[in-house]
Amino acid sequence: MLLVLEISNAQKIYIRECEKILGENNLVLISITGPSGSGKTTFAKELHQAICENRSVILLSEDNYYKANTCLTEEQKNNRNYDHPSAFDHKLLEKHLKQLKAGDSVKSPIYCYKTHQRKERTVELRPADFIIVEGIMLLNKQYLRELFDLKVFMDVPLDICLLRRIQRDINERGRTLNSVAQQYLETVRPMHNEFIKPQKNFADFTFSEEIDIDFMRKRVMELILL
């Protein structure tokens, strides 16, 4: 296997060479996990852009696999704990990833943060050389963990994540400062400590502000070249 990733700054990994694909059936499955606001989506998009110049790649968000929530009232949806593993339909995500690995297309759900529920329409995903999945809870369950060829964890301090989340949630997800603050204290922070942070132990490599870029680059090379 030779898949060389080069980090040019904390948010960018460029795939330089990919002579042999590491996963089953010529497919590489990469997970990007970490706290809300840690930059998973941003990083996943960078990675997607770098890979798609030479290879077909699917970018998939775990958030689309939140449970459908169609039977809940407005109040129940507004007060739901979206940072607990049980909020996700991980079995459906597992099924879809396995189908893609097997070379089959899937109809992937689409989730709406504003209404807190799954949309009626789906998007068809066709098998590709790479699948990048990003989300807060991808490494908690063994049956998901073992599907990934490469597991990345974004270990960004929570105060930075919160600042980013405030801006993003107000601008893009229809929230107010009060609602972000309340949700953060009631569920986001405690669930981070209980379920999200421990996933770091399962990652192949971790992005952290404290880690020197050269060190990170070396780690990635060592890991990928194995």
Ligand X SMILES: O=c1ccn([C@@H]2O[C@H](COP(=O)(O)O)[C@@H](O)[C@H]2O)c(=O)[nH]1
Ligand Y SMILES: Nc1ncnc2c1ncn2[C@@H]1O[C@H](COP(=O)(O)OP(=O)(O)O)[C@@H](O)[C@H]1O
Q: Which residues bind ligand X (CB under 6 A)?
A: 36-37, 40-41, 63, 66, 82-83, 113, 116, 136, 188
Q: Which does 39 bind (CB under 5 to 8 A by kind): ligand Y, ligand X, none?
A: ligand Y
Interacting residue with ligand Y among 33, 38, 64, 108 (CB under 6 A): 38
Give CA separation, 185 vs 125, 168, 181, 220, in Å: 36, 17, 6, 35
Q: Residues 127 to 166: which contact ligand Y by CB under 6 A?
A: 164
Give CA separation, 48 vs 92, 127, 131, 222, in Å: 23, 15, 9, 22
Q: Residues 160 to 219: which contact ligand Y by CB under 6 A?
A: 164, 167-168
Instruction: Bin 50: left if φ > 0, else alpha if -120 < ψ < 50, else beta.
Output: alpha
**Residue 189 identity (one-letter amino acid):** R
Q: Where are the beta strands (DSSP E) in the chain?
A: 2-9, 12-20, 28-33, 57-61, 106-112, 117-125, 130-135, 150-155, 205-208
Instruction: State the minimum distance, in angstroms, from the CB of residue 9 to ligand X.
Output: 21
12 forms part of the interface with ligand Y (CB under 6 A):
no
Q: What number of residues does the chain have?
A: 226
Of residues 37 and 127, the one with the C-beta less far from ligand X: 37
Q: Which does 62 bind (CB under 5 to 8 A by kind): ligand Y, ligand X, none?
A: none
Instruction: State the minimum distance, in angstroms, from the CB of residue 180 to ligand X.
Output: 9
Q: Which residues sit at the interface with ligand Y, rule CB under 6 A?
A: 11, 34, 36-42, 164, 167-168
